[in-house]
């Protein structure tokens, strides 16, 4: 659904479109600045105040990012002014903002006709508020499977951003700029959005269905087309593993030929490479979600937690619980 029906008339009105940013503790500075600076640049290029913004925190206190930089908030959940759009921004520590007050505030905003946005893990807030049931939403690849596990009724996607009715979601990082340029296009038109993109040396405004991740060819420095295709298939089936023979057959190779390609270009076997991908993803889930070890084992395609833990220990030289414990200890020390 296009947002032009909702906001098209505001581009010609004298009143600026007001956008509220709810900043959770330890929000990522890059995602927030990408969103905010797109609006600043819009005002500069349009030579008028097309947009205004307010910064909102749970209690109205300082909005401190994960980098330690902070900004004074303009309002709290209790006294936030009426906004046309409210965008929540959160990072790894997103659960620290969980509260009935936040969820009821989001529910009220949506009931009042506000457009709601969420960047990266802030998508969890909208889901916990019951606003994403049956809706498409985008979330960072690192948290995608954990989100799907917790909210099976939400249509989570690995698109870079998603629009579903009055809900916008971004997978985070630099993608947030693309989502904001889409929003600006709906309100002010394509010309302004392209001029903003040029100002940021952003050579192409990405579309919703573009890939979040760096292509396999570049990430693993692989220049063999069929090998790259197999790696992509592996990455796309980490949680429902496919047999090596089936992977080889899918690209017109024998298992022996595929084995030789992996040895020549990556110095390992297809099976070990596949296990490595799955282990790295399981580690992401350990570090960035609250899923139990047993739940992570199931999500990653292992029949039992003990089976998963054995592979994990072989790969990382420590058990999954030790990884999680060390990470939590390091975060406490950093604070």
Lowest average pLDDT, out of 83-87, 123-127, 234-238, goes to 234-238
Mean pLDDT of 223-250: 85
Question: The pTM is what?
Answer: 0.67
- Please tell me whether residue 114 adopts helix, strand or coil conformation: coil
Q: How far apart are the first and last CA of the chain?
A: 42
- Considering 202-206, 283-287, 319-323, the range whose residues carry the highest mean pLDDT is 319-323
**% of the chain surpassing 90 pLDDT:** 37
User: Tokens 């009143």 label which residue?
Assistant: 15
Please determine, for residue 89, whether its predicted confidence score (pLDDT) is greater than 70.
Answer: yes
- The pLDDT of residue 212 is 43
- The pLDDT of residue 2 is 45
Mean pLDDT of 243-250: 92
- Considering 74-78, 161-165, 166-170, 239-243, the range whose residues carry the highest mean pLDDT is 74-78
Lowest average pLDDT, out of 9-13, 105-109, 195-199, 302-306, goes to 9-13
Question: Strand 85-90 to strand 115-120: parallel, antiparallel, or no bridges (unpaired)?
Answer: parallel
Phi and psi at residue 89, in whole multiples of 5°? Answer: -130, 125
Contact predicate 184/196, CB 8 Å = yes
Q: List, edge to edge, every strand of the sheet that includes 17-23.
A: 75-76, 51-57, 17-23, 85-90, 115-120, 167-170, 161-164
Count Cβ atoms below 10 Å from residue 234 Cβ, excluding itself: 20
Sign of CA dihedral 36, 37, 42, 48: positive
Mean pLDDT of 258-272: 91
Mean pLDDT of 198-225: 62
- Please tell me whether residue 216 adopts helix, strand or coil conformation: helix
Half-sphere exposure of 121 toward its Cβ, with a 13 Å CA cutoff?
24
Q: Which residues contact residue 119 at a Cβ distance below 8 angstroms, ignoring those fewer than 6 apart?
A: 31, 32, 35, 87, 88, 89, 90, 169, 170, 172, 176, 179
Please determine, for residue 154, whether its predicted confidence score (pLDDT) is greater than 70.
Answer: yes
User: What's the gap between Cα 288 and its chain centre?
Assistant: 12
Nearest to 325 by CA among 296, 293, 297: 293
> Model confidence over 155-189: pLDDT tens digits?
888 788 888 888 999 888 888 888 888 888 888 88
Lowest average pLDDT, out of 113-122, 210-219, 248-257, 271-280, goes to 210-219
Q: Which residues contact residue 142 at a Cβ distance below 8 angstroms, ignoring those fewer than 6 apart?
A: 284, 288
- The pLDDT of residue 206 is 52
Supply 260's token pair.
């030789």
**20 φ/ψ sector (left φ>0, alpha ψ -120 to 50, else beta):** beta
Confidence of residue 1 (pLDDT cuts 50, 70, 90): very low
Mean pLDDT of 265-291: 85
- The pLDDT of residue 214 is 47
Question: Strand 51-57 to strand 17-23: parallel, antiparallel, or no bridges (unpaired)?
Answer: parallel
Lowest average pLDDT, out of 66-75, 204-213, 266-275, goes to 204-213
Lowest average pLDDT, out of 3-7, 54-58, 317-321, 322-326, goes to 3-7
Nearest to 110 by CA among 138, 140, 88, 143: 88
The DSSP code sequence of 216-241 is HHHHTT---HHHHHHHHHHHTTSSS-
């Amino acid at each position: 659904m296009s947002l032009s029906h909702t906001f098209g008339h505001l581009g010609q009105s004298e009143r600026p479109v007001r956008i509220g940013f709810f900043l959770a503790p330890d929000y990522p500075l890059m995602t927030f600045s990408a969103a905010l600076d797109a609006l600043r640049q819009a005002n500069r290029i349009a030579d008028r105040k097309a947009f205004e913004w307010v910064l909102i925190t749970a209690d109205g206190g300082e909005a401190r990012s994960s980098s330690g930089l902070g900004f004074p908030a303009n309002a709290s959940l209790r006294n936030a002014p009426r906004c046309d759009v409210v965008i929540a921004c959160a990072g790894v520590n997103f659960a620290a903002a969980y509260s009935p007050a936040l969820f009821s505030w989001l529910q009220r905003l949506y009931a009042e006709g506000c457009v709601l946005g969420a960047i990266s893990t802030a998508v969890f807030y909208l889901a916990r508020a019951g606003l994403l049931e049956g809706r498409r939403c985008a979330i960072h690849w690192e948290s995608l499977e954990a989100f799907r596990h917790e909210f099976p009724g939400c249509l989570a996607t690995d698109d870079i951003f998603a629009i579903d009715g009055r809900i916008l979601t971004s997978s985070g990082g630099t993608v947030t700029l693309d989502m904001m340029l889409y929003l600006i296009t709906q309100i002010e038109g394509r010309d302004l959005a392209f001029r903003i993109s040029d100002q940021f040396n952003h050579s192409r405004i990405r579309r919703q269905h573009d890939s979040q991740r760096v292509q396999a060819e570049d990430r693993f420095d692989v220049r063999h087309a069929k090998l790259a295709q197999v790696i992509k298939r592996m990455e796309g089936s980490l949680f429902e593993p496919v047999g090596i023979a089936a992977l080889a057959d899918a690209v017109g190779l024998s298992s022996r030929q595929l084995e030789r390609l992996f040895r020549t270009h990556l110095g390992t076997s297809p099976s070990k490479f596949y296990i490595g991908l799955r282990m790295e993803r399981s580690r992401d889930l350990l570090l960035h979600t609250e899923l139990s070890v047993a739940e992570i084992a199931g999500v990653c395609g292992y029949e039992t937690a003990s089976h998963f833990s054995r592979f994990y220990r072989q790969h990382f030289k420590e058990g999954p619980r030790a990884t999680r414990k060390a990470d939590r200890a390091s975060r406490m020390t950093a604070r």
